[in-house]
Amino acid sequence: MRAEGRVVGLVPTMGALHDGHASLVRAAQEQCQPVVVSVFVNPKQFGPKEDFEKYPRPIDADRALLEGLQVPYLFAPLAAEMYPNGFRTSVSVEGLGERLEGRSRPGHFRGVTTIVLKLFEIAQPHFAYFGRKDAQQVRLIRQMARDLNLDTEIVVCPIVRDADGLALSSRNAYLKGDQRRAATVLYRALDAARHDIAAGERDAVRLAGALRKKIEAEPLATADYVEIVDAETFEPVLRLRRACLALLAVFVGSTRLIDNMLVEEQGDSLSIAL
């Protein structure tokens, strides 16, 4: 298809597809023909105490959703195909993955970048589509693509949310009853910070403190981290400038959820994306 001059798009996923994934597919379809969707629950990005075994794998439902979206190609390999006996190679992006998710989930990003590079090599896409909800992951993948001169452009798409603001995630299926209601605290905290910024607050330390206080007020929620960082370096900032991300990782019961808000300078004002 490349030889025919067609533009190939790839949407890498771990399955349990939802409307967030569908939005990535639609974005890909605007630029590419064909679009390939991969479904692979990657064991190398799960820690020993994480939810690899119970991670949802509704492959029949995923296939039906993709057929409804008129996706022509679903790539759903087995782990033994992606990591055959004797597999020894991994890919690491140094300096961007040690904090935040990297600190909480040692080895996670090495597993992500390794599998994404393999998927790029297999599918040979011109464009690959990722959601901004996994902001640190996207930043590392962009760095990998640039450093290794990959012939794939990384496209970052907006966060898709439920009606009550909760960012769509395959792990939301773990939330039941009061936990599902409590999970909206991530959005509620970020939305409160958005109003503070709109009112003129620029002190990142105060904003992060207010975010943490809002989360701690929810009895079923426990913050893993709450930070405001530079969107390029992922280092903490003292004041909002250039492009910053407010990043949250929160346990609701035993379910770990992440969310973020992007704040960018636009002339004399700030643009905020939730």
H or E stretch at 12: strand 9-13
pTM of the model as a whole: 0.96
Structural Rg of the chain based on CA atoms: 19
H or E stretch at 141: helix 135-147
Q: Omega of the bond prior to 34 within 30 degrees of 0, cis?
A: yes
3-state secondary structure of 36: strand
Fill in the amino acid letter for 179: Q
SS (H, E, C) 216-229: HCCCCEEEEEEEEE
For 188, the token pair is 């509620």
Among 231, 207, 211, residue whose Cα is nearest residue 221: 211
The catalytic residue positions are 21
The reported pLDDT for the residue numbered 253 is: 96
Q: Is 268's pLDDT higher than 90? A: no
Among 55, 273, 34, residue whose Cα is nearest residue 25: 34
Is 190:248 a contact under the CB 8 Å cutoff?
A: yes
pLDDT tens readout for residues 171-188: 999 999 999 999 999 999
H or E stretch at 67: helix 59-68
Is 100:247 a contact under the CB 8 Å cutoff?
A: yes
**d(C-alpha 23, C-alpha 131), whole Å:** 9
CA angle 272, 207, 223 (to 5 degrees): 100
The reported pLDDT for the residue numbered 266 is: 87
**d(C-alpha 127, C-alpha 75), whole Å:** 16
| Distance from the Cα of residue 123 to its chain's centroid | 20
pLDDT tens readout for residues 80-139: 999 999 999 999 999 998 999 999 999 999 999 999 999 999 999 999 999 999 999 999
Number of residues assigned to the chain: 274
Average pLDDT of the segment spanning 22-27 = 98
Number of neighbouring beta carbons within 10 Å of residue 118: 18
**d(C-alpha 119, C-alpha 37), whole Å:** 10
Average pLDDT of the segment spanning 147-171 = 98
Domains of the chain: 9-157 (3.40.50.620), 170-273 (3.30.1300.10)
Could you give the count of Cα atoms lying within 13 Å of 189 in the half-sphere of its Cβ?
30
**d(C-alpha 248, C-alpha 143), whole Å:** 22
